[in-house]
Amino acid sequence: MNECLSFVYVIKFVIITMVMIMKCANCGAEINENELICPYCGYENEKVAIEEQANYLNELEKKKENLNYEPERKAKRAEKKTNYVFRNVLILVSIIGFIAFGVVYFTSSNSLNKQNKNIEKLEEYYQERDYESISNLMDKIEDSYVPAYKKYYITASLYNGSQWELSIMEENYDYYNEGISRDSFDEEIEYVFKSLCEMKEYEDDGYKYEESDVVEYYRDLYYKSLEEVGMLSEEEIDDFVDNRTDSKTIASIILERWGSNQ
């Protein structure tokens, strides 16, 4: 019985002194500290597993202490039965734990191998500046939101946004004389400069996901469109982005210059 008590105290001490886990030790994804299994990679949260085992042992210990008030004969019999159950539970838990570890390890290994293959292919597309293929592949990846894919998530986002946003200037300029919807134009300009502001944030963060090539590529395309068709200077665009100028103000300047150019 003393050995059991010592074991329980050790378990309690380990739980109290452990550092709180806020990120998965395997994949780095942020998870709820009370989750037993990481929902992203299936890795076991050791802290929760230990706590559950300790709670179970505490309950067994309480049941054993309550037997002290029973006649000695019944207490011994109950203690023997409890020890028997305890041993079998430990054996069962060990077997289940071993099986679970094998399943998680196998699943995690397969998932990691698949992720590595995806990243290898995505990086190949990235070096070739085949951003369309990156967007298509990212659409097929279920866990594309995890940090490992962040560089390619940014690439796909810029590619998808540019497909419409880069055509805004030319389409509105072509239809200027026929009349364009001012509300729609204001909204479209807002999307364009929102994308430019996001690119500026990536730059200010030091391109921590090594996404500088794709950001600079699309930023140059956006600037070229705004300069050649929108009749804005590079300095004006920089100023609008840095100061987060209201899209309606920018749209008014562009429309005014288009009117003067007719």
Residue 123 within a domain = no
Residue 105 within a domain = yes
Verify that 97 and 8 share a domain, yes or no: yes
Residue 109: both structure tokens together: 């290994």
- The band of 158, judged by pLDDT with boundaries at 50, 70 and 90, is very high
**Encoded amino acid at 210, one letter:** E
Verify that 153 and 89 share a domain, yes or no: no
Residue 198 has pLDDT above 60, yes or no: yes
pLDDT at 6: 58
Residue 69 has pLDDT above 80, yes or no: no
Rounded to whole angstroms, the Cα distance separating 138 from 122 reads: 8
Q: Tens of pLDDT along 95-152? A: 776 566 544 544 455 677 999 999 999 999 999 999 999 999 999 999 988 999 999 9
Verify that 166 and 57 share a domain, yes or no: no
Verify that 159 and 251 share a domain, yes or no: yes
Q: Tens of pLDDT along 39-58? A: 888 777 777 767 776 676 67
Range from 1-10, 73-82, 105-114 carrying the lowest mean pLDDT: 1-10
Domain end residue (candidates: 117, 145, 180): 117
Q: Which domain holds residue 226?
A: 131-261
Please give the average per-residue pLDDT across 171-182, as a whole number.
85
Of the chain, the percentage scoring pLDDT greater than 90 comes to: 47
pLDDT at 107: 47
Residues in CB range of 253: below 8 A, 6 or more apart? 232, 236
DSSP per-residue string spanning 32-61: -TT-SB-TTT--B-HHHHHHHHHHHHHHHH
pLDDT at 161: 94
Verify that 26 and 81 share a domain, yes or no: yes
Residue 225 within a domain = yes
The count of structural domains within the chain is: 2
Rounded to whole angstroms, the Cα distance separating 202 from 198 reads: 6
pLDDT at 253: 96
Residue 124 within a domain = no
Range from 11-25, 152-166, 202-216 carrying the lowest mean pLDDT: 11-25
pLDDT at 17: 44
pLDDT at 19: 45
Residue 213 sits at φ, ψ, to 5 deg, of -60, -50
Residue 179 within a domain = yes
Residue 84 within a domain = yes
Residue 126 within a domain = no
Residue 210 has pLDDT above 60, yes or no: yes
**Encoded amino acid at 234, one letter:** E
Among residues 2, 140, 172, 1, the alpha carbon closest in space to that of 76 is found at 1
Domain end residue (candidates: 87, 117, 147): 117
Among residues 2, 138, 128, the alpha carbon closest in space to that of 64 is found at 2
Domain end residue (candidates: 73, 92, 117): 117
Verify that 194 and 112 share a domain, yes or no: no
Residue 232 within a domain = yes
Residue 14 has pLDDT above 50, yes or no: no
Verify that 164 and 47 share a domain, yes or no: no
- The band of 71, judged by pLDDT with boundaries at 50, 70 and 90, is low
pLDDT at 13: 46
